[in-house]
């Protein structure tokens, strides 16, 4: 196999390294460490963080890409190795080839026959119109009426192996953390549920399409799982692109005031006056034209889709900084008038030192709260953009693309509801966990919330 490193792959692993470095440095800051301890001291915080960590783990596994080596024809000696144009990930291997079992067209969840009638021939050779059997669902059954008992039996088997795997993974954690003051039991219960659900989905997907198939015959559950990487990366990268712009301009406007404040206010007022969807759509279409005019820059189709995805993250980040900039400007204006900052000015302390020691540490709570809030907002924004046709490339797994395709499916009679259901469930779980976690971060880091708690 030949490793393939996309730009988005490199970025997500740089983010993991930066996160590890952040937690390492956190050990030297007892005040910040105590605030984070407050977040994780509740069962809700543990459960929400575990769900988010599970999504991140799937995104990491789906970011280890490679191309398989093609087999040489029999009897032909070829010194050069040729590789498949299809890019595969480690996550694809762990799903047991779920994305390689295609049907002709739609099929309902756990169905054994197609959702649409086709022209067939009966035993006598006559042309009839009926529902054809699926290629990769229920082929092991001698009698279709055995489906219910078979699904139930395989469910119990999968849950047994899921519980065994959970015990192997959670057991060492229990030995190390059982005396901890944090409610790890809530995290372990969530981990066990996620592991059992994953084992169940992979096991049964070998025999059935759990969430059915779409118009092209692709497994809907597989598409929903592939959308996890897109949602996590887009929400994280776009937020990280937005933060430096908002923090830099907001702090400069609030601290230096005067013409600097006027320029920054003019910038974010002008940006806020432009309809966001139109601005993003125009930028994405311009970049799409650049990709179409320069096809030699991309060796495989996956690289072209990845370039469009990175551009979308950048565009979303550049166009969504105005709200945070306003908040940080207002907070910096207040901090710059406090006594200890005025005293630092009187003693001749440099602007750089005042910003680094007195201003930035006091706006960190706004940055953290905004980060977790904007993450979920940008995940939803991707779905809206794909819905209007300017989001992620169609060849890339995306909840937005699934929702976009479900528009016409819901108007059918009977309706094809499972595509929308799959995208909605996985998006809902991620956004709900992010929002719950953001509420806890806000309560822990917002000084006003802490003050009200002390007064009470």
Comparing CA positions, the residue from 153, 321, 345 lying closest to residue 250 is 321
Q: How many CB atoms lie within 10 A of CB 88?
A: 18
Task: Quick: pLDDT tens for 112-168.
Answer: 888 888 877 777 777 788 888 888 888 888 888 888 899 999 999 999 999 999 999
Residue 260 clears pLDDT 50, i.e. is over it: yes
In degrees, rounded to 5, the angle at the alpha carbon of residue 94 between the alpha carbons of residues 433 and 231 is 35
Query: 338: helix, coil or strand?
Result: coil
Check pLDDT > 50 for residue 198.
yes
> What residues are paired with 118 via a beta bridge?
130
Assess whether pLDDT exceeds 90 at residue 391.
Answer: no
Residue 178: phi, psi to the nearest 5? Answer: -65, -25
Structure-block tokens of residue 397: 């797994």
What is the Cα–Cα distance from 85 to 139, expressed in whole angstroms? 30
Of the given ranges (13-22, 154-163, 304-313, 387-396), which has the lowest mean pLDDT? Answer: 387-396
Render 254-265 in DSSP notation, one character per residue.
HHH-HHHHHHHH
Average pLDDT, the chain: 82
Q: How many CA atoms does the CB half-sphere of 120 hold within 13 Å?
A: 11
Rounded distance between C-alpha atoms, residue 134 and residue 105, angstroms: 10
DSSP string, 29-98: -HHHHHHHHHHHTSHHHHHHHHHHHHHHHHHHHTT-EEEEEPPPPTT---SS--EEEEEEEHHHHHTTSG
311 contacts: CB under 8 Å, gap ≥ 6: 283, 284, 287
The CA distance from 39 to 441, in Å, is 6
Tell me what pLDDT residue 451 has.
Answer: 47
| Interatomic CA distance for residues 333 and 190, integer angstroms | 43
* CA-atom Rg of the chain in angstroms: 26
Query: Coil, helix or strand for 384?
Result: helix
Q: Which pLDDT does position 105 carry in this prediction?
A: 86
For the chain, the straight-line distance linking the first and the last C-alpha, in angstroms and rounded, comes to 62
- Domains, the chain: 98-205 (no CATH), 219-455 (1.10.3720.10)
Give the single-character DSSP code of 125. S
Answer whether 3's CB lies under 8 Å from 65's CB.
yes
Length of the chain: 456
Could you give the CA distance from residue 235 to residue 240 in angstroms, rounded to a whole number? Answer: 9
For 314-359, the pLDDT digits (tens) are 888 888 888 888 888 888 888 888 888 888 888 888 888 888 888 8
Question: How far is it, in rounded angstroms, from Cα 232 to Cα 228?
Answer: 6
* H or E element that contains 317: helix 301-318
């Amino acid at each position: 196999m030949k490793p393939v490193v996309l730009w988005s792959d490199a970025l997500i692993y740089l983010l993991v390294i930066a996160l590890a470095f952040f937690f390492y440095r956190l050990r030297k800051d007892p005040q910040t460490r105590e605030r984070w301890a407050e977040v994780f001291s509740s069962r809700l915080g543990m459960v929400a963080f575990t769900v988010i960590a599970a999504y991140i783990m799937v995104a990491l596994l789906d970011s280890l890409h490679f191309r398989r080596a093609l087999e040489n024809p029999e009897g032909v000696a070829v010194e050069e190795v040729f590789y498949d144009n299809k890019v595969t990930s480690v996550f694809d291997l762990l799903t047991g080839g779920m994305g390689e079992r295609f049907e002709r067209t739609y099929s309902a969840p756990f169905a054994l026959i197609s959702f649409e009638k086709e022209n067939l021939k009966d035993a006598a050779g006559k042309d009839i119109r009926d529902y054809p059997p699926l290629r990769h669902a229920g082929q092991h059954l001698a009698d279709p009426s055995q489906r219910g008992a078979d699904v139930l039996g395989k469910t119990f088997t999968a849950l047994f192996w899921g519980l065994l795997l959970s015990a192997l993974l959670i057991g060492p954690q229990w030995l190390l953390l059982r005396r901890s003051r944090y409610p790890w039991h809530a995290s372990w219960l969530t981990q066990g549920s996620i592991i059992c659900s994953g084992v169940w989905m992979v096991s049964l997907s070998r025999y059935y399409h759990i969430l059915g198939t779409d118009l092209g015959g692709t497994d809907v559950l597989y598409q929903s799982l592939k959308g996890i990487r897109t949602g996590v990366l887009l929400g994280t990268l776009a937020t990280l692109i937005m933060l430096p712009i908002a923090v830099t301009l907001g702090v400069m406007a609030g601290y230096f005031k005067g013409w600097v404040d006027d320029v920054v206010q003019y910038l974010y007022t002008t940006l806020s006056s432009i309809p966001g969807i139109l601005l993003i759509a125009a930028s994405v279409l311009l970049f799409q034209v650049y990709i179409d005019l320069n096809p030699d820059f991309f060796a495989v189709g996956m690289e072209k889709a990845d370039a469009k995805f990175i551009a979308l993250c950048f565009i979303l980040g550049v166009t969504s900084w105005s709200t945070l900039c306003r908040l940080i400007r207002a907070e910096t204006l207040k901090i710059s008038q406090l006594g200890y900052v005025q005293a630092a000015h009187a003693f001749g302390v440099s602007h750089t030192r005042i910003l680094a020691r007195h201003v930035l540490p006091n706006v960190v709570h706004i940055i953290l709260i905004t980060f977790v809030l904007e993450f979920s907002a940008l995940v939803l924004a991707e779905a809206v953009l794909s819905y209007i046709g300017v989001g992620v490339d169609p060849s890339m797994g995306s909840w937005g693309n699934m929702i976009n395709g479900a528009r016409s499916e819901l108007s059918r009679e009977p309706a094809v509801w499972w595509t929308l259901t799959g995208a909605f469930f996985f998006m809902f779980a991620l956004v709900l966990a992010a929002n719950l976690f953001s509420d806890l971060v806000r309560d822990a880091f917002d000084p006003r919330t802490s003050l009200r708690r002390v007064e009470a």
